[in-house]
Structures are given as C-alpha cells and as structure tokens.
Amino acid sequence: MDKILGYVALGQKQGAKLVSGGKRVGQRGFFVEPTIFDGVRDDMAIAQDEIFGPVVSVLPFKSAAEVFDRANQTYYGLSAGVWTKDIDKAHNFAKHVKAGTVWVNCYHVVDSSTPFGGFKMSGHGRENGEAALDLYSEMKTVTVKLKD
C-alpha cells in the first residue's frame, strides 16, 4: 500500500493529473482506491515502472507504431493488453509488443496450463504449464570417451 501511494504522490510531483482515486481505502487492510492519471508523459515513473497496484496512466497515441515503441522502451515486459474488434490489429499488437503475455479483449486471464512470465526485467523463467518444469530442473552435460 505504501509503495502504491508513493507512486501516486510521485505521479503528481512529476506533473501528471490525478483524475480519480489515489487514496487509501478504509482503516483496516492495505487497500488503495482505483486510480487514474491523465497528462502522463513517457518519462514519468508511473508510465515506466511496474506498479502492481490499481493505477492506470492515460497516454494518447496517434499510431500503432507509437504504441509499440512506447511499450517496448520500458525496462519491463510482463504483460500487455489490447481491446479491438480487428483480429489483424490484435495479432499485430501481439507480434510487436515485447511482453511475456498478451491479452486480447480481456486482462489478467491466467490458466494454470499456459506459461506465464515476462520479458526483459519482468522476471526469470515461466510459471505454470510444462515450461515451469525448467524452474525445477538443472541441465548437465556428461561426455564419456568409450575407446582410445
């Protein structure tokens, strides 16, 4: 909660406009209101970091290429989502955005049989599915000379 509220304060300090939320909910637990920022620039921490809280940054765009560049210029790539009625646009988004998981017309739908994990600084390896077995395995090569 303190980390999320710290990002809310930092977003405001860096010049983003807090449109909604941004406060603690109640006195019990560690809950933060759903938070929306407008006027966000690409260089702001709230646009660059993985916040892992209910914080959304609104950044307008003019082209798909601008979206791909913006998404790929961060250090992180855990997941991405796109809403569209055009399946070609969805596939193009998935192809160009460097993220371990891409959701189309949904978000945070995770099935235990499919690998989940990020690209770049967003994790190491994959959870779930057969790919998760790599986390519990260590490969070794043994070469034996049988004859002279």
Q: What is the mean pLDDT of residues 57-85?
A: 91
Dihedral pair phi/psi, residue 18, rounded to 5°: -75, 110
Number of H helices, E strands in the chain: 4, 9
The pLDDT > 90 percentage for the chain reads 58
Q: Are 49 and 76 in contact (CB under 8 A)?
A: yes
Percent of the chain past pLDDT 70, that is, above it, reads 85
99, 78 contact by CB (below 8 A): yes
> What is residue 29's predicted lDDT score, i.e. its pLDDT?
93
pLDDT at 2: 96
pLDDT tens, position by position, 17-66: 999 999 999 999 999 999 999 999 999 999 999 899 999 999 999 999 99
The pLDDT value given to residue 31: 96
Q: Could you give the CA distance from residue 113 to residue 88 in angstroms, rounded to a whole number? A: 26
Distances (CA, A) of 89 to 28, 56, 57, 70: 44, 22, 22, 17
B/e letters for 4-19, b = 16+ CB within 10 Å, e = fewer, are: bbebbeebeeeebebe
39, 43, 44, 47 alpha-carbon torsion, rounded to 10°: 80
Query: Rounded CA gap, 144 and 115, in Å?
Result: 35
Confidence class of residue 145 from pLDDT cuts 50, 70 and 90?
A: confident
Would you say the pTM of this structure is higher than 0.85? no
